[in-house]
A and B are shown apart, each in its own frame.
Chain A
């Protein structure tokens, strides 16, 4: 093979190495984490009556990663149904050319079938109350409304599969061992629920 072709081979391998590394790093770079109060915010309009643990999942309806989170949630449901109340908070985004969004009604029906409450979060009010910044942000509150877990349900960006979040939720059902001062946590992968320029201070009550 000529020197040029050897160079081509080298360039090819290097390009692939760089390209796949970049893709992998991107896939495993988490979004901004939520740091909510340890107790359920009293100003929230989300239902939390009854002494029942509640799982909140914040989703950007157009983010492609949301499909992976929903898939993982559906995988969890057979285990947590009737034991944990599940609420999916959909950020209300203006309509646009998104496959996921076009099927929003279909998704809502799918969730309803799993006895999942769907809440449309106008202007991201609830998201701000719980400090949720990244689509896929999941919060588990115990029956006393204390935060047990904060993180995501996917192992990487838009990637399905077992994750630390799933493990944490299942561990709660097995018998919570975590102290209320230090909730379990994992990384969350997804699009930003709101523009990064907007801060928590700008949240309207």
Chain B
């Protein structure tokens, strides 16, 4: 709001306040006129009810005057006050009627000096308009009444036939004196009203500013909310994409792991298959020569069955590994089962390459997990260890277990000399690999980390051992024996 606008606003408020005062004063005058009418009639009846001719009486003319003149004096300003409250017309009507009421009361009281005070009280009442206009009207009417009566009936005003002009000033002087006092009061009051108006205008300006700021903030809020919603939607979309990608990556990783396993599994199966084949031929040979004794036959067949069981176990592990996860829910699986399944898929490979695999005693605990995923992680770590120790003179892999505070740690350590820090930082990133092209996908560790963390656990590289050690920590371990 500019200064000019503020000035206009203050002017508008000021006008409103003055009008409000005028309105309220009109309401006061409405009640006052009713009261004065009653007073006039009571006064006439009380002081001069009848006039006399000897012992005969008739209603005194003052009673008629009080009733009819009082009625006329009161009704019209009351009408104006009701129909045009707060207007100059109503104010002027009140001033005229109030002036004439003073004259009526003076008549009715027989000129008692006390009733002259009515003029001064009326001036005070009219001053509540905070306007000089009604005061001037009353003063003019009072002066006109004095002048006219002074001219026609000088003794009625001044008590002598020839009035001194100074007597006029004596009587009206007091009225004018009060006018001057009231003028100053009205001026001060209007000044005060103006200050109030300016203050209100300032307040309105501040309110407008606050409203503008609030509106701006609301707009910003709306925009921000919109952006948040858009951002949230984008985040959800991205998350969904990531989840899809993760699933896809997990599947790819699984396939990759399967591919990697293929060579090992060929070994795993080939060896017992060769033994079965050899034993079967040997049995046929003994049968052809007639040398097959029942004991020998049992012994060889048991070996064949043992090898077939072994193959069956490998195939079952492979099937279990490659099957789709039927449920997203965690299932309580014994740690021994997890380790056994993992070992079935890699132990022959280790053995065939003369790589020492040390497995510590598996504690009797159960892990709430998706078994295939955890087996995938462990197999991944075993494969990495297998690859890492190739070409080393000391080649071994060890698996340890630590159980503490409802947690279990699976420590996969190999004889490698550790991972350089610059590689350790990046090794859990997607598609990062140190393996030769075509051998590693770079998905293993990052996927494994994601799986373990999804189980509420962690996969960390432990650099403080002098070897290469990865620790898988899983929560929610029940310290009791669970049948897998």
- Binary per-residue interface labels of chain B (83-115) against chain A in the complex, 1 for a CB within 8 Å, 0 otherwise: 010000100000000001001100100111100
**CB of A129 closer than 8 Å to a CB of B:** no
**CB of A163 closer than 8 Å to a CB of B:** yes
A193 to B54, CA, bound (A): 5
A1 to B76, CA, bound (A): 14
CB contacts (< 8 Å) of B55 on chain A: these are 93-94
CB of B156 within 8 A of CB of A159, answer yes
Chain A min CB distance to B118 (Å): 15
**CB of A19 closer than 8 Å to a CB of B:** yes
> Closest residue to A26 on the B side, CB-wise?
B61
CB contacts (< 8 Å) of A193 on chain B: these are 54
**CB of A198 closer than 8 Å to a CB of B:** yes
CB of B158 within 8 A of CB of A159, answer no
CB contacts (< 8 Å) of B50 on chain A: these are 62, 98
**CB of A96 closer than 8 Å to a CB of B:** yes
**CB of A76 closer than 8 Å to a CB of B:** no
> Closest residue to A1 on the B side, CB-wise?
B89
Asked if A19 meets B72 with Cβ closer than 8 Å, knowing A64-B47, A64-B60, the reply is: yes
A172 to B155, CA, bound (A): 20
A63 to B56, CA, bound (A): 11
**CB of B48 closer than 8 Å to a CB of A:** yes
> Closest residue to B68 on the A side, CB-wise?
A19
Chain A min CB distance to B402 (Å): 104
CB contacts (< 8 Å) of B120 on chain A: these are none
Interchain CB contact (< 8 A) of A198 among B48, B54, B156 = B54
CB contacts (< 8 Å) of B51 on chain A: these are 63-64, 191
Chain A min CB distance to B143 (Å): 15
B32-66: which have CB < 8 Å to A?
A: 46-57, 60-62, 65
Interchain CB contact (< 8 A) of B160 among A20, A64, A158, A164 = A164
CB of A24 within 8 A of CB of B158, answer no
CB of A62 within 8 A of CB of B155, answer no
CB of A163 within 8 A of CB of B155, answer yes
A1 to B79, CA, bound (A): 13
- Binary per-residue interface labels of chain A (52-66) against chain B in the complex, 1 for a CB within 8 Å, 0 otherwise: 000000001011110
**CB of A156 closer than 8 Å to a CB of B:** yes
CB of B156 within 8 A of CB of A158, answer no
- Binary per-residue interface labels of chain A (12-39) against chain B in the complex, 1 for a CB within 8 Å, 0 otherwise: 1001100110111011100000000000
Interface range, B side: 35 or more
A67 to B110, CA, bound (A): 9
CB of B53 within 8 A of CB of A160, answer no
**CB of A50 closer than 8 Å to a CB of B:** no
Chain B min CB distance to A5 (Å): 8
**CB of B69 closer than 8 Å to a CB of A:** yes
A156 to B89, CA, bound (A): 35
Asked if A93 meets B89 with Cβ closer than 8 Å, knowing A15-B72, A19-B68, the reply is: no
CB contacts (< 8 Å) of B47 on chain A: these are 64, 67, 99
CB contacts (< 8 Å) of B89 on chain A: these are 1
Interchain CB contact (< 8 A) of A8 among B76, B107, B111 = B76
A118 to B53, CA, bound (A): 21
CB of B69 within 8 A of CB of A20, answer yes
A97 to B72, CA, bound (A): 29
**CB of B277 closer than 8 Å to a CB of A:** no
CB of A155 within 8 A of CB of B155, answer yes
A195 to B89, CA, bound (A): 49
Asked if A12 meets B159 with Cβ closer than 8 Å, knowing A159-B110, A161-B111, A195-B56, the reply is: no
A55 to B434, CA, bound (A): 148
CB contacts (< 8 Å) of A98 on chain B: these are 49-50
**CB of B229 closer than 8 Å to a CB of A:** no
Chain B min CB distance to A126 (Å): 15
CB of A162 within 8 A of CB of B158, answer yes
**CB of A85 closer than 8 Å to a CB of B:** no
Chain A min CB distance to B29 (Å): 15
**CB of A125 closer than 8 Å to a CB of B:** no
A96 to B52, CA, bound (A): 12
A96-115: which have CB < 8 Å to B?
A: 96-99
CB of B73 within 8 A of CB of A166, answer no
> Closest residue to A8 on the B side, CB-wise?
B76
CB contacts (< 8 Å) of B158 on chain A: these are 161-162
Interchain CB contact (< 8 A) of B110 among A16, A22, A160, A196 = A160
A67 to B47, CA, bound (A): 9
CB of B54 within 8 A of CB of A93, answer yes
**CB of A194 closer than 8 Å to a CB of B:** yes
A138-178: which have CB < 8 Å to B?
A: 155-156, 158-164, 166-167
A62 to B52, CA, bound (A): 7
Interchain CB contact (< 8 A) of A27 among B53, B112, B156, B160 = B156
**CB of A192 closer than 8 Å to a CB of B:** yes
CB of B100 within 8 A of CB of A96, answer no
A9 to B56, CA, bound (A): 40
Asked if A68 meets B54 with Cβ closer than 8 Å, knowing A28-B156, A163-B155, A167-B160, the reply is: no
Chain A min CB distance to B229 (Å): 62
> Closest residue to A5 on the B side, CB-wise?
B83
Interchain CB contact (< 8 A) of A159 among B53, B57, B72, B111 = B111
Additional A-B contact list (19), CB under 8 Å, known A9-B76, A23-B104, A164-B160:
A12-B76, A16-B73, A19-B68, A23-B69, A27-B156, A62-B52, A64-B51, A97-B49, A98-B50, A99-B47, A156-B153, A158-B48, A161-B155, A161-B159, A162-B159, A191-B52, A193-B54, A194-B53, A195-B53
B interface residue numbers (CB < 8 A to A): 46-57, 60-62, 65, 68-69, 72-73, 76, 79, 84, 89, 100, 103-104, 107, 110-113, 149, 153, 155-156, 158-161
User: 9 A-B pairs, CB-CB below 8 angstroms?
Assistant: A24-B149, A60-B52, A62-B52, A65-B48, A93-B55, A99-B46, A160-B111, A161-B155, A164-B161
